[in-house]
Amino acid sequence: MTSVNRQPRKKPIVQKKICMLGSFAVGKTSLVARFVRSIFSEAYHTTVGVKIDKKLVELPGARVKLILWDLHGEDEFQRLQTTYLRGSAGYVLVVDGTRRDTLESAASLHARARAALGPVPYTLAINKSDLLDMWEIEEAELDPWRARDAVVARTSAKTGAGVEELLVELAARTLGVERGQAVGGS
């Protein structure tokens, strides 16, 4: 009798494009660097156009390769080019918790992303939670987002708080799986 060495079958890899959207200097690039490479730099680098990174996420029953499109920040001189959104399975709206106006900008970006993509999953990252003493956004201002079924999370690219959880949650939602309603202690 021969013994057959059976290896457990690997789950197939599903690729999902995720766009990082937000005003300039909210921390989109830093969140991606923290998530993909576990690093943080105090140096500010402006994203020109788009920067693409990838990371494999293991979920129960699936492996998801997130293809993260870090889009340039929006300001009075540069608007979101919705062509970058094509093919996205979801997006992260990044807000700087120390700058209230970035939450207002996120609402505008959300409307444009929804118009371009339809009802794909998204999350709202309230970044820079390591700077709570400079915080400008009240919890009540986030309630309308939660009412729209957004996952709202405080994140810190500097400390890593909430970053992995937020993006893993979004990966799960792109597959139609809701893992939790809130991450990152918001």
Q: Strands of 50-59's sheet, edge to edge?
A: 50-59, 62-71, 13-22, 90-96, 122-127, 151-154
69, β-bridge pairs: 19, 52
Model confidence at 184, pLDDT cuts 50, 70, 90, reads very low
14, β-bridge pairs: 64
Q: Indicate yes or no: pTM above 0.85.
A: yes
Name the residue type at position 52: I
* Phi and psi based region of residue 171 (left: phi greater than 0; alpha: psi -120 to 50; beta: remaining): alpha
Predicted pLDDT of residue 149: 81
Taking the CA atoms of 25, 93, 130 and 59 in sequence, report the sign of the dihedral they define.
negative
Task: List, in sequence order, the alpha helices (H) in 16-100.
Answer: 28-37
Domain range list for the chain: 13-174
Secondary-structure class of domain 13-174 per CATH: alpha beta
Closest CA to 67 of 57, 81, 52: 52
Burial 23-37 (b: 16+ CB within 10 A, else e): bbebbbbbbbbbbee
Per residue in 13-36, pLDDT (tens digit) is 999 999 999 999 999 999 999 999
